[in-house]
Amino acid sequence: MKIGAARIFVNDIQAAKEFYSQLGLSLENYDLESGICIFNTGETKLIVESVLPAAPKEDQILVGRFTGLSFQTNNIQKSYESLKSIGVEFSGVPEQQYWGGWLATLIDPANNEVQLVQESA
């Protein structure tokens, strides 16, 4: 088995579409009325879904949290500088991890946290 899709929940689908597009992800499907964007990231689809303001509390808590999702890069410092230069917000600079790789956490317009990861050599 392999992971086919990962989901992120937002409160502004248009802002999310712009944000994830500027990360270089390929937009496969966008439906403003349904509040959904699907990005092709290779083998796994990234599905970004809007949570409406009138949605139940259990749906609202899905917005603005650490997602556990990581976007792989071969040069985290270069990716960090490039994204920072176009206004992408990070919680800090790239940091080397105990396992040898590097991580940098970026924040989308809904305050979801996703990460850049560079595997160890």
CA geometry: angle 24, 108, 23, nearest 5 deg: 5
What is residue 44's predicted lDDT score, i.e. its pLDDT?
93
Q: Which residues of 19-57 are buried (b: 16+ CB within 10 A; e: fewer)?
A: bbeebebeeeeeeeeebbbbbebeeebbbbbbbeeeeee
> Has this prediction a pTM greater than 0.85?
yes
**Which secondary-structure segment (H or E) carries 104?**
strand 102-107
pLDDT tier at 120, thresholds 50, 70, 90: confident
> Does residue 121 have a pLDDT over 80?
no
Q: Residues 57-81: what's their mean pLDDT?
A: 95
* pLDDT tens, residue by residue, 4-48: 999 999 999 999 999 999 999 999 999 999 999 999 998 899 999
Whether residue 108 has pLDDT greater than 90: yes
Q: Give the model's pLDDT for residue 42.
A: 87
Which pLDDT does position 49 carry in this prediction?
97
| Residue count (the chain) | 121
